[in-house]
Amino acid sequence: MKCNRKIGELLLVVALATVMALLMCPGCLRNFSYAWQMEVIMLSIWLVMWYGNGYVSHFIDRYVTWLDNPAKRFGLGVVGTVVYSTIAILALAFLFDHLFAVNIGNKWQLVWLSIGISVIVLLFILARTFLYAWRDLALREEKMRNELLVARYEVLKNQINPHFMFNSLNALSTLVYEDQDLAVQYISQLSKVFRYVLQAGKQEVADLAGEIAVLQSYVFLQKIRYHDNLHVDIALNGHQDKFYVAPLVLQMLFENAIKHNEITTENPLTISLAIEKGYLVVRNNRQPKDIPLQESTEVGLENIKERYKSLTNKEVIVTESAREYKVAIPLITVSK
């Protein structure tokens, strides 16, 4: 498909060069040798302007993109086009004059002509760039929606699976008899978790403060079950209002840590959450327990990585050692 596009561009250049040659020299139709010479000249100019300006455009894109800074990119594109076109047409004039003994006419008129051709090329490149950018953005948004649906499903599935429901109801039934006030709190926190999970799928990003709030509700439920065998340390030092994260990611990471590690009096589990160098880092001590293969964390982690590819150019970093498991997710800032 890419090859077909290249051939199509080449045929378009040939057609435009032919039209330009006929417009500049209508009488050339009666003189084949002169018409052929004019066609070669115009085709050379169009090829140099088309592909040369394309290279200049790609070179500028490496440093300033249309999406990041469109005004600056446009200015640099115009300057680059004018400078390149002037140098290129003077070089072509010298080449035809000294190597082929062909006079291609007034050089400065050709400079203006080449700039006009380059403007046409620039407009074409601009239109194509925006069309491709629009297509990529649409694909990325669609992929993001799919990833959010998968994430929402995974978290919701974990929350309402029979084991979770059984453990939650069992803890609640015990609390009703032992501590009715705590039972009321348990129901309240459980409803917050479910409510947030159901709403989170509507967002591409969520403010960190909201994620921390529902995470604390989830931790509250788990500590009722594991008591002092589960230690959680959340140390964000008041940065919650400055950043955003992908919805439900923190809860998924905490769930994975709890699900895949032994939690006993002899081997308590410690999960910490902190901000380190632009990343939100979740780490826990490793004491893995045997679990069915289908309950592996790989699907959840891959889902998180794919979601972040659509949100930022920073990658999710997973570090594993004999004693510690750590996942670092990029913090996102959103302009308001």
Per-residue model confidence as pLDDT tens digits over 256-308: 899 889 999 999 999 999 998 889 999 999 998 876 555 554 557 887 887 78
Residues 7, 1: Cα–Cα separation, whole Å: 10
Cα 84 to chain center, whole Å?
32
Residue type, 178: E
201 within 8 A of 148, measured Cβ to Cβ:
yes
Residue, of 113 and 320, whose pLDDT is higher: 320
User: Average pLDDT in the 204-209 region?
Assistant: 85
What 3-state class would DSSP assign to 86? helix
Residues of each domain in the chain carrying CATH 3.30.565: 161-330
Residues 209, 161: Cα–Cα separation, whole Å: 27
With cut-offs at 50, 70 and 90, classify the pLDDT of residue 336: very low
pLDDT surpasses 90 at 81: no
User: Average pLDDT in the 54-72 region?
Assistant: 79
Burial class (CB in 10 A: 0-12, 13-18, 19+), 293: exposed
Residues 155, 157: Cα–Cα separation, whole Å: 5
| pLDDT in the model for residue 51 | 79
Per-residue pLDDT reduced to its tens digit, 214-226:
899 989 989 988 8
Q: How many CA atoms lie within 13 A of 68 on its CB side?
A: 9
Residue, of 283 and 187, whose pLDDT is higher: 283
What 3-state class would DSSP assign to 287? coil
304 within 8 A of 329, measured Cβ to Cβ:
yes
What 3-state class would DSSP assign to 142? helix
Angle at 182 between CA 181 and CA 184, to 5 degrees: 65
Listed in order, strand segments (DSSP E) in 187-331 are 206-207, 230-235, 244-245, 269-276, 279-285, 317-320, 324-330
In this structure, of 82-86, 106-110, 140-144, the range with the lowest mean pLDDT score is: 106-110
| pLDDT in the model for residue 80 | 83
With cut-offs at 50, 70 and 90, classify the pLDDT of residue 334: low
Q: What are phi and psi of 37, to 5 degrees?
A: -65, -45
Residue, of 217 and 242, whose pLDDT is higher: 217
| pLDDT in the model for residue 295 | 53
Residue, of 9 and 52, whose pLDDT is higher: 52
Per-residue pLDDT reduced to its tens digit, 136-178:
767 777 776 666 666 655 655 554 455 566 677 777 777 777 7
Residues in the chain: 336
CB within 8 Å of 280: residues ≥ 6 apart: 208, 243, 245, 250, 273, 274, 328, 329, 330, 331
Residues 101, 168: Cα–Cα separation, whole Å: 91
Record the pTM: 0.54
| pLDDT in the model for residue 219 | 92
Residue, of 126 and 48, whose pLDDT is higher: 48
Residues 209, 175: Cα–Cα separation, whole Å: 29
CATH number of 161-330: 3.30.565
